[in-house]
Structure 1
Amino acid sequence: MRKYTPKNDVQKKSYFSDRFYIAPETSKKEVTSDEIYAYDVELLSGKFEVLNSYIEIDELVVFIKAEDNVNVLTFFKEALDYEMLMELSAIDYIAQRGGFEIFYEMLSLTKRKRVRIKTFIKEKQELNSVYEVFKMANWSEREMYDMYGVRVVNHPNLKRIIMPDDWYDHPLRKTYPLQGDEAASWYEVDKIFGKEAREEIGAEIRDSAAIDRYDTKRFARLGHEVPYGVDITNGKEPEHTPLQYQEEGGVPIIKKFDENKSVTLKKRR
């Protein structure tokens, strides 16, 4: 896997926004402030070790040991009437803590209450599947494995669910490049046409902000649409499709775009 690089000064490198801004934590309440949650935690503590518990945004949050995840979810389902597992996934804390925080979001329709069960595992530590308790965990655990690389044991079919089976790395890890890497740029070309076609076809453009007004299907452009089939081999549209940012009759206070007066910056400021 990729190595982590120091991110202590990334805020200074980004002139337009602070990508690594950490929002202040929301206030937490004692479990005893809610009668139903207090009773649930009391029963849970009699069966399992509760590492921490509190109420955050009117929802119970409970921290447990990773090896107890199946039994704790079973207890919440059968003894505490939390009938539904709404979501489960992981949070990448490899750089800070060397592993993943796993969470399970449960709902009780009878109590009209929610609980979030959390645990922590090391980067290469295996986690027991909760598929036998909640069938919905089938795809969610596969997605967690696909996106983060969390190994789930006793799963009926632990394979990638979004990315191809031979994809390199796990896209939601914080070490994964935002626009993919070299392997991602050439994946479809190599699979469909073979590596011998790389020079002829070229790498995939993975920059989501890239705009090519002369693309094959005319899907991305800065001016008016170019009718399908119009010859633009010389890089020019017909005269009736000028480059402009707004149509006639647009917002009057906005200055019309003039291609001749525009300046393309060679690099960011």
Structure 2
Amino acid sequence: MRAYTPKDDVQKKPYYTDRYWVAPQVAKYDVGEDAVFAADLEAIKAKFDVLDAYIQVDQMVVIIKAEDNFGVIELLKNVCEYNQLSELSAIDWLASEGKFEVFYQMLSMTKRKRLRIKCKIGEKESIESVEKLFRSADWSEREMYDMFGIVINNHPYMKRILMPDDWEGFPLRKSYPLQGDEFAQWYEVDKIFGKEARDIVGPEIRDSARVDRYDTERFARLGHEVPRGADISQGEPDTPLVYQEAEGVFLIEKFDAEKSVVISDRDR
């Protein structure tokens, strides 16, 4: 069995580049054009530093210092009547700026206004939890920690929420390989059978676009289920796939896997 070599530097290799098309930003407007937003901004400025503020797509965006996030959210809830935190997450700008952008999407049911609070933190920096203000922040903050590796201070249960506790890496960082690294390919094999079974089982197929009619033991073969543990060493009869009920549908031709064609030309 070949020796296992940890890929600790895998995050440093596939950096984000400018080969992706970046959509242009929509127009920004001065906050003074909306009296409600202007009053809310003045309330924030009275107690906290505001780095930038503008209206975009009919909502106000306010950029603040990361250390003020709890205080600003508290002010918006208790004073400015923004009574719902509908979303919070982060964006990875590590390659271009060395920072994460953390945002909080607020909604005022009485004013019928939406407001977004944004701040930036470094890769090794943490940010204060707002779970005490909005319970909806609980799982969102855990997901932000799980997917981006951003530590949330004073969260009541700071642990991964989607990935296993012993998972390596953070899947929503732009530097994370789309199909995972070597750790991801061997995770379930190592966990269930042990590393000594690698040569027997083989790596996990992580291509999300690949559909296989057979699973590991072929006991759930589409079109011809085989009992678990059945002897298939001598092979099994091929069963054509037919995706239609008996009698079919009028004027619709039945699907025949034998006649199907894979189109490789995306512009076709």
1:41 Cα deviation after fit:
0.7
1:177 aligned onto 2:177: yes
How do 1:59-208 residues align onto structure 2 when only pairs under 5 Å count?
Answer: 59-208=59-208
Partners of 1:264 and 1:195 lie apart in 2 by 39
User: TM (normalized to structure 2)?
Assistant: 0.81
Preserved CA contact (<8 Å) 1:214 1:235 = no
1:58 aligned onto 2:67: no
Look up the SS of the partner of 2:103 in the other structure: strand
How many equivalent residue pairs?
A: 248
Partners of 1:40 and 1:167 lie apart in 2 by 42
Residue number among 224, 239, 262 corresponding to 1:226 in the alignment:
224
The residue number in structure 1 matching 2:12 is 3
Q: 1:169 is matched by which residue type in structure 2?
A: G
Percent of pairs with identical residues: 51
Q: Which runs of 5+ in 1 are unaligned?
A: 11-19
1:38 Cα deviation after fit:
1.0
Preserved CA contact (<8 Å) 2:59 2:114 = yes
Q: 1:226 is matched by which residue type in structure 2?
A: H
Structure with greater contact order relative to length (CA < 8 Å, sep ≥ 6): 2
Look up the SS of the partner of 1:124 in the other structure: coil
1:256 Cα deviation after fit:
7.3
Q: Deviations over 1:195-220 (max 9, x none)?
A: 2222222211111122323332445x
Look up the SS of the partner of 2:92 in the other structure: strand
Preserved CA contact (<8 Å) 2:14 2:177 = no
1:157 Cα deviation after fit:
1.7
User: TM (normalized to structure 1)?
Assistant: 0.81
1:135 Cα deviation after fit:
2.2
Q: 2:98 is matched by which residue type in structure 1?
A: G
More moved, 153-162 vs 77-86: 153-162
Look up the SS of the partner of 1:62 in the other structure: strand
CA spacing shift, 1:243–1:124, aligned 2, 3 Å: same
Q: 1:140 is matched by which residue type in structure 2?
A: S
